[in-house]
Structure 1
Amino acid sequence: MRRTAESLAHWLAPAFGAVRLEPDLDRIEALAAERESLWRRVQEADFLSEAEKREAVGYGPAA
């Protein structure tokens, strides 16, 4: 999905300038099982800090 978005952004760039297309992977139902598995593994990783866990699942620093 990301490669397709990057290719499309590259194709659009001459007409629109720098374009960044970022797919919302959380909204793709087919990836739900993979996402759930990642969350479970990260949650059970006691050696990771909260900040590291947030980074591992794709969130930025806590506000």
Structure 2
Amino acid sequence: MDVLRAWRDQRFMASSWGRRLVAFYYHLSSPIAYFIARNLRSRITRLLLAPLVKNLARKYQSN
């Protein structure tokens, strides 16, 4: 999770459109999380997100 936070903070929060995108995401994230919890297994979700997180970890490792 730290990798995703760093990516958000360094890339998106640096611009006004990025801050709006993050606000929009937070508005939609609860319904999306609820959908995933009810309809998809967490293991499948993790497998789908793993390549993205791995790629971001290389770019935004917290020191």
What band does the TM-score fall into relative to the shorter chain?
Answer: 0.3 to 0.5
TM-score normalised by the chain length of structure 2:
0.34
Which has the larger Rg?
1
Q: Which has the higher contact order (CA 8 A, sep 6+)?
A: 2
TM-score by length of 1: 0.34
Q: Which has the higher helix share?
A: 2
